[in-house]
């Protein structure tokens, strides 16, 4: 098909063209890190060619009669001559007057002028699944631009941005966080609480002799797996604070410790 080869496919519309199925729409939404973990419903409002409410997308005025389309004689398709460098080529395409339905109305809808759709603001509610990655796109089928004359709508391609959470870094299905502990806690061991990105805390054991930079794993408190079950882990990197201001008695005790350790 030479016409197709030279990119004439859009002259008669077809997927995403001037007639027939509606174009895909694009939008972007930003969610918080906590919303990414829990999953969230978001309402996206965007201006697009939406189904005309007056005629319900048919393009006919209320009470208008349906007639056989005069342009295509009811076939829904028309032949057109296209001039190319090789001469004229006959191409069959969707009828522009009836959008392929084969029928037109005796009176066109006054709101949309017969197109069956209008540019207006549309709100779409989208379920964003837990664990979605920053920059990933969700395809919401049938929520793009309305088709002409009641033809199927396109899809909404929604790109999701995940805003970073202070103190938390996503590492695949795991989340890395850092927790300061005292020199005494590191040496003697302790039970500590660690903040989670959802806003809560989780209890964790720090063993005696914990080294600075050691990473502990709190299982199942990471990012939910988008494909599959369960969650990744919360990785807790331990930072050991060396005291900067010491009282006289504290100094004495540390000196004793030094002398005992040799």
Q: Which residues bind Zn ion (CB under 5 A)?
A: 52, 54-55, 69, 71-72, 95, 97-98, 109, 111-112
Burial 39-65 (b: 16+ CB within 10 A, else e): ebebebebebbbbbebbebbbbbeebe
Nearer to Zn ion, 69 or 238 (CB): 69
- Name the residue nearer to Zn ion (CB basis): 94 or 210: 94
Q: What is the distance between the alpha carbons of residues 189 and 16, in angstroms, rounded to a whole number?
A: 64
Q: Nearest approach, Cβ of 124 to Zn ion (angstroms)?
A: 20
Closest to Zn ion by CB, 55 or 234:
55
Backbone torsions φ then ψ of 51, nearest 5 degrees: -55, 130
CB of 64 to Zn ion, least distance (A): 11
In angstroms, give the least distance from the CB of 58 to Zn ion.
7
Choice between 109 and 160, CB closer to Zn ion: 109
Q: Taking the CA atoms of the chain, what radius of gyration do you get in angstroms?
A: 32
Do 57 and 116 contact (CB within 8 A), yes or no? yes
Shortest Cβ 75–Zn ion spacing (Å): 7
Least distance in angstroms from the C-beta of 148 to Zn ion: 11
CB 19 within 8 A of CB 94: yes
Joined tokens for residue 178: 């850092």
Nearest approach in angstroms of CB 59 to Zn ion is 6
CA–CA distances in Å: residue 65 to residues 68, 69, 101, 106, 195: 10, 12, 14, 5, 67
User: Tokens 């990197």 correspond to what residue?
Assistant: 237
List phi, psi (to 5°) of 185: -60, -40
Between 65 and 171, CB nearer to Zn ion? 65
Give the residue with the Cβ less far from Zn ion, 31 or 95: 95
């Amino acid at each position: 098909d030479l016409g197709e080869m030279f990119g004439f496919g859009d002259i008669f519309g077809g997927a995403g063209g001037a007639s027939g199925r509606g174009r895909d729409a694009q939008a972007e939404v930003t969610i918080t890190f906590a919303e990414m973990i829990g999953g969230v419903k978001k309402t996206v409002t965007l201006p697009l060619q939406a189904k005309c409410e007056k005629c319900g997308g048919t393009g006919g005025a209320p009470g208008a009669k349906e007639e056989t389309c005069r342009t295509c004689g009811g076939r829904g398709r028309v032949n057109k001559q296209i001039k190319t460098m090789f001469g004229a080529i006959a191409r069959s395409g969707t009828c522009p007057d009836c959008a392929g339905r084969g029928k037109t109305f005796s009176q066109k809808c006054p709101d949309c002028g017969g197109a069956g759709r209008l540019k207006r603001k549309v709100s779409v509610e989208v379920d964003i699944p837990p664990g979605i990655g920053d920059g990933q796109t969700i395809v919401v089928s049938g929520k793009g631009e309305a088709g002409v004359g009641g033809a199927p709508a396109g899809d909404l391609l929604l790109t999701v941005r995940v805003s970073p959470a202070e103190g938390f870094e996503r590492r695949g299905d795991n989340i890395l966080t850092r927790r300061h502990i005292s020199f005494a806690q590191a040496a003697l061991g302790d039970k500590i609480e660690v903040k989670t990105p959802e806003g809560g805390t989780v209890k964790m054991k720090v063993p005696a002799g914990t080294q600075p930079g050691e990473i502990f794993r709190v299982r199942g408190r990471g990012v939910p797996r988008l494909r599959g079950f369960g969650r990744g882990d919360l990785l807790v990197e331990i930072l050991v604070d060396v005291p900067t201001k010491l009282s006289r008695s504290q100094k004495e005790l540390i000196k004793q410790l030094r002398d005992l350790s040799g």
